[in-house]
Amino acid sequence: MVELVAVADLDPKALEKAAREFRVPNTFSDYRPMLEEKLDLVDICVPNHLHAKVAIDAINHGANVLVEKPLAISADEAERVVRTAQAQNVMICEAKQWRYVPALRKSHESFTKGKMGKLVSILAQWHSEIPLTWSHAQWYYDPAKSGGGIVSDIGIHLVDLLLLYGGPVGRVSASGGDYLGTMGFDTSVQALLEFSKGGSGLLDVSWLAPHSKFLQIVGTSGIAEVDMHYYSRTHWNYARSPFSDLKEAIGTIGRTSRRVMNKDFFNPLPRLFQALINDYAEAIINHLPSPIPGEMSVRALRVKEAIYKSLSEKRTVNL
């Protein structure tokens, strides 16, 4: 169980709202005095370019940290966070909540048990609305503060999932950019990742294409398709029939109906974050490994940087 005991925010209205909504007894307009409270866990939700600084401050006060993605805006910064946590003997977890989609967790469990054979390829696709429709935070549109465009934003979630299945990446080749010509950062990118242990991954992220969010994992003895929007999974082997398709369609309708009723369908993040935080709290209490360790975050950021290097230099990049 996690008990909220303190919250800090520079915005008095946001601070008051959070304290009231979550019944937090102690409020601070500056996070640094809050760290003197000897907290077990600090959840860092500040703009991207401040993640590393606040995380290191919290770690140096002996707190475990849960950091919103990305852990830092560069891999080198993220490594400093990891080294600091190791020196202070505390734990890091990055908030990659999409790992907790139930259908994805089941597919990954089957994959790790060898039910799909050796990895052949993974397609990770996420197309969504352009940020102007859902965020007006000024830092978000400054790559120096956000870390980049779509690859840094939603793409980093999919890079994490590609690494989860495929492991280390040996080479990256990417195409894309700011197709609108007015944003100042990438709005649509496709990147081919060659995994060091075999197989390949295709990252396809866009703020311009029709909405979709799914993974397709191809193995030597089976295929899995995971729809991260409808929480469905299909095609566990090469055989396909109208009966299995109908069964999955009926299951999707029932599952979606339940999620609409409890409002999870329209905003899945609370439940996904709850699952992640529960997992992390258990790891802290029982001295288990972090569910999403800092080292994994560093590897994802190295891939992100290789994608951007491939885009800018128009060539394949070796990691």
Q: Tell me the pLDDT band of 272, cut-offs 50, 70 and 90.
A: very high
Decide if 167 contacts 300 (C-beta within 8 A): no
Does the pLDDT of residue 233 top 90, yes or no?
A: no
- Report, as an integer, the average pLDDT of 111-123: 95
Both tokens of 246, joined, read: 């109908």
- Report, as an integer, the average pLDDT of 50-62: 98
Q: Tell me the pLDDT band of 239, cut-offs 50, 70 and 90.
A: low
**Architecture of domain 98-318 in CATH?**
2-Layer Sandwich (3.30)
HSE, CB side, 13 Å, CA atoms: give it for residue 105.
11
Tell which wins on pLDDT, 275 or 38: 275
Integer Cα distance of 177 and 132 in angstroms:
17
Q: What integer pLDDT is reported at residue 238 of this predicted model?
A: 58
Does the pLDDT of residue 308 top 90, yes or no?
A: yes
**Architecture of domain 6-96 in CATH?**
3-Layer(aba) Sandwich (3.40)
Q: What integer pLDDT is reported at residue 246 of this predicted model?
A: 80
Q: What integer pLDDT is reported at residue 253 of this predicted model?
A: 87
Integer Cα distance of 296 and 160 in angstroms:
8
Q: What integer pLDDT is reported at residue 83 of this predicted model?
A: 98
HSE, CB side, 13 Å, CA atoms: give it for residue 273.
13
Q: Of 211, 219, 48, whose CA–CA distance to 120 is shortest?
A: 219
- The values of phi and psi at residue 125, to 5°, are -125, 135
Q: Among 40-54, 58-72, 119-133, 237-251, where is mean pLDDT lowest?
A: 237-251
Both tokens of 121, joined, read: 């390829």
Decide if 191 contacts 202 (C-beta within 8 A): yes
Does the pLDDT of residue 237 top 90, yes or no?
A: no
Q: What is the mean pLDDT of the chain?
A: 93
Amino acid at the residue 22? F
Integer Cα distance of 166 and 108 in angstroms:
11
Please measure the distance between the N-terminal and C-terminal CA atoms of the chain and give it in whole angstroms.
Answer: 40
Does the pLDDT of residue 134 top 80, yes or no?
A: no
Integer Cα distance of 28 and 285 in angstroms:
26
Integer Cα distance of 93 and 103 in angstroms:
22
Decide if 195 contacts 168 (C-beta within 8 A): yes
pLDDT, tens only, 88-113: 999 999 999 999 999 999 999 999 99
pLDDT, tens only, 174-204: 999 999 888 899 999 999 999 999 999 999 9
Q: What integer pLDDT is reported at residue 130 of this predicted model?
A: 83
Beta-carbon contacts of 93 under 8 Å, excluding residues fewer than 6 positions away, are: 64, 65, 66, 67, 276, 280, 283, 290, 291, 292, 293
Both tokens of 189, joined, read: 């990118």
Q: What integer pLDDT is reported at residue 263 of this predicted model?
A: 86
- CB neighbour class for 86 (10 Å; exposed up to 12, middle 13-18, buried from 19): middle
Sign of CA dihedral 44, 50, 55, 58: negative
Does the pLDDT of residue 135 top 80, yes or no?
A: no
pLDDT, tens only, 154-178: 999 999 999 999 999 999 999 999 9
Q: What is the DSSP string of 24-74?
A: -SEEESSHHHHHTT--SEEEE-S-GGGHHHHHHHHHHTT-EEEEESSSSSS
Q: What integer pLDDT is reported at residue 58 of this predicted model?
A: 98
Does the pLDDT of residue 250 top 90, yes or no?
A: no
Does the pLDDT of residue 243 top 80, yes or no?
A: no
Q: Domain ranges in the chain?
A: 6-96, 98-318
Strand partners, 234: 225
